[in-house]
Amino acid sequence: MQTFQSLLAKRLSDALPRAGLPEAGELTQATDPRFGDYQTNVALVLGKQRGENPRALAEKIVAHLDVSDFSEPPAVAGAGFINFTLQPAALEKQTLDILRDERLGVAETESPRRIVIDFGSPNVAKPMHVGHIRSTVLGDALARVGKFLGHEVIRDNHLGDWGTQFGMVIWGWKNLLDRQALQRNPLAEIVRVYKETHELASRDPKVREACRQELVKLQAGDKENTDIWNECVALSMQDFERVYRLLDVRYDLQCGESFYHDRLPGVVDRLLKAGIAEISEGAAVVFFHDDSALADKPLIVRKRDGGFNYATTDLATVDYRFNELKADTIWYVVGAPQTLHFKQIFAIARREGYTTDLRHIVFGSVLGEDRRLMKTRSGENVPLRELLDEACRRAREIIDEKNPGLSEEEKNNIAEKIGIGAVKYADLSQFRTTDYIFSWDKMLSLHGNTAPYLQNAYVRIRSIFRKAGDVAPKIDKLVLSEPAEIDLAKRVCEFAEIVPQVLNGFRPNVLANYLFELANSFHAFYEACPVLRSEEPARSSRLMLSDLSARVLQRGLDLLGIKVPERM
Ligand code: ARG
């Protein structure tokens, strides 16, 4: 099934050579519905390129353009835009086709790629905090969209499960551990031990040295230290898994930093042999002399004491994903503070000849209502699990008020969908690089651009169906006559055009905002067009249009990792 947008684009590129003109400009959804449904700026772009009158060019293009089977005659407007308005009959047919399509009109990509998505990636022995939420939620949504579009997606959790913090964790474990506290809340106790050791080490060089010794022993494979390390990783993982279960996020691979440990000497040897790294003051260093942005930012890949670092691991990771996972592209969903790090890694990977397409997908910060980085009252990072629990608790209050008659189990179930959905949507509906303010009241509001608003639109449609006896009428023709009906059908048809756009620039907010518009269109339709009380054939037709709206809402939210309840 073709979208109107791709159909128009095709007809336009057929017409241009007939008009003696080259391909140019864009065909997009109309920015203002008063002028139609789609528009192209091709004549404006060509006019500028060729120094010709754009309106005259537009007329010429229109004269060679044949879209009469689905569009009203194209109109030339303004400085030279060409506008298209769909014919109701074409819209009726397209909507019916979508109604019968599992995929709701969304085509699979013609060029599937193997995509490794590196997202979430929390650090062991440190709790996941609110800062990890953007990476996790964004990475998960991109993975869902990529998969739906027919790409092969490998979700990889690059856990921080190795590194200098373990010297402190192990020393603290041996000297400060409270076994009972560990039983009660393992991760909290590991974090306490780590923090206290960190404190001590910063004041006492003897402790610092002892921690270093523990790290050396761990790296040399000492049995006791390896056991402690294993236990810390396992306990942290349990905590992460709880969060992933709540968020409904899963991974195909969890190749943390430790996975690459054995490969690091090889990475550095390779770089030295290729002349990409050199020995400088005892360390192995990569200089970027011919890259103006990085010229004064050399990267150490092996320290003077022989130790490797975060960057060395990431170089080994690129190699693994390229040579063993055969990734066509790797997407790193990691916060903006690591921009320099990835610039350096990508530059080295290019020099080494890796042809995989490497992308750093940055995102802004989550701010508290005071517009500063979100912290607890005592100035700590907000632990993610507590935050998610609070989301569910607050959502539960809303359900208690809105629908007190539901069973306890049902209430909790719905509260989880709403609470988690609200947190995810607050994040995904924002442009990813902007900071956003975390506001419970805003994200849980039943009005406005929020998950509960969209979930409520879905629930309303489902309740229409329950009233209609839960049977979908079989129809072979859709009738669209009221403006609100036509508008809603157009929105539904747009879904197939919107979904692929999410991957251009990695913008789930495009999909989120589309769903918001769709819900608005549905509400306008519902106000203007009675469904159950209208006569046939309008009744069945409207029922099916409602059903289709619900399906698009459900599928769209699912692509964002958000679930819909059947009632709320
Ligand atoms: N563990 C890191 C952190 O919490 C993120 C890892 C991102 N991925 C990577 N391949 N470096 O900051």
Ligand 1 atom closest to residue 338's alpha carbon, by position in its atom list: 12
For the Cβ of 555 lying below 6 angstroms from any atom of ligand 1, the answer is: no
If DSSP states are collapsed to H, E and C, what string results for 41-84?
CHHHHHHHHHCCCHHHHHHHHHHCCCCCCCECCCEEECCCEEEE
| pLDDT reported for residue 520 | 97
Question: d(Cα 124, Cα 195) in Å, to the nearest integer?
Answer: 13
Nearest CA to ligand 1 atom 3: 122
Ligand 1 center from residue 195 Cα (angstroms): 20
Task: Give the distance, in angstroms, between the CA of residue 436 and the centroid of all CA atoms in the same chain.
Answer: 15
On the question of pLDDT at 175 being above 80, the answer is: yes
Ligand 1 center from residue 76 Cα (angstroms): 51
The single-letter code of the amino acid at 203 is R
On the question of pLDDT at 475 being above 90, the answer is: no
Give 369's pLDDT tier (boundaries 50, 70, 90). confident
Ligand 1 atom closest to residue 341's alpha carbon, by position in its atom list: 11
215 touches 166 (CB < 8 A): yes
| pLDDT reported for residue 188 | 87
Nearest CA to ligand 1 atom 5: 121
For the Cβ of 119 lying below 6 angstroms from any atom of ligand 1, the answer is: no
Write out pLDDT tens, residues 307-346: 899 999 999 999 999 999 999 999 999 999 999 999 999 9
Section 359-374 average pLDDT = 89
The single-letter code of the amino acid at 167 is G
Task: Give the distance, in angstroms, between the CA of residue 478 and the centroid of all CA atoms in the same chain.
Answer: 35
Give 1's pLDDT tier (boundaries 50, 70, 90). confident
* Strand-pair partners of 332: 118, 360
For the Cβ of 317 lying below 6 angstroms from any atom of ligand 1, the answer is: yes
For the Cβ of 236 lying below 6 angstroms from any atom of ligand 1, the answer is: no
**Mean pLDDT, all residues of the chain:** 94
| DSSP-assigned letter for residue 370 | T
* Strand-pair partners of 277: 286
Residue 11 token pair: 């007809």
14 touches 21 (CB < 8 A): no
- Report the 10 Å Cβ neighbour count for 483: 12
Say whether domain 451-559 belongs to CATH 3.30.565.60. no
Nearest CA to ligand 1 atom 1: 160
Ligand 1 center from residue 69 Cα (angstroms): 53
Question: d(Cα 323, Cα 319) in Å, to the nearest integer?
Answer: 6
Section 54-83 average pLDDT = 95
Question: If you average pLDDT over each of 143-147, 366-370, 374-378, which comes out highest?
Answer: 143-147
Write out pLDDT tens, residues 240-292: 999 999 999 999 999 999 999 999 999 999 999 999 999 999 999 999 998 88
Q: Distance from first CA to last CA of the chain, Å, rounded?
A: 35
| pLDDT reported for residue 33 | 83
Nearest CA to ligand 1 atom 6: 121
Ligand 1 atom closest to residue 335's alpha carbon, by position in its atom list: 12
- Only one residue has tokens 């031990």, namely 193
Nearest CA to ligand 1 atom 11: 314
For the Cβ of 540 lying below 6 angstroms from any atom of ligand 1, the answer is: no
Ligand 1 center from residue 122 Cα (angstroms): 7
How are strands ordered across the β-sheet holding 81-84?
A: 27-29, 38-40, 81-84, 75-77
| pLDDT reported for residue 276 | 97
Q: pLDDT over 70 for what percent of the chain?
A: 100
For the Cβ of 158 lying below 6 angstroms from any atom of ligand 1, the answer is: yes
Mutation test residue for ligand 1: of 133, 154, 334, the one with most atoms within 8 Å of CB: 334
Contacts of 275 (CB under 8 A, 6+ apart): none
| pLDDT reported for residue 287 | 97
140 touches 101 (CB < 8 A): no
Q: Where are the domains of the chain?
A: 4-86, 165-244, 451-559
Residue 25 token pair: 């400009």
Question: d(Cα 139, Cα 481) in Å, to the nearest integer?
Answer: 41
For the Cβ of 334 lying below 6 angstroms from any atom of ligand 1, the answer is: yes
Nearest CA to ligand 1 atom 8: 158
Ligand 1 center from residue 314 Cα (angstroms): 9
489 touches 545 (CB < 8 A): yes
Residue 431 token pair: 């442009």
Write out pLDDT tens, residues 380-419: 777 888 899 999 999 999 999 999 999 999 999 999 999 9
Question: d(Cα 503, Cα 357) in Å, to the nearest integer?
Answer: 14
| pLDDT reported for residue 517 | 97
* Strand-pair partners of 360: 332
4-86 folds as Gyrase A; domain 2 (3.30.1360)
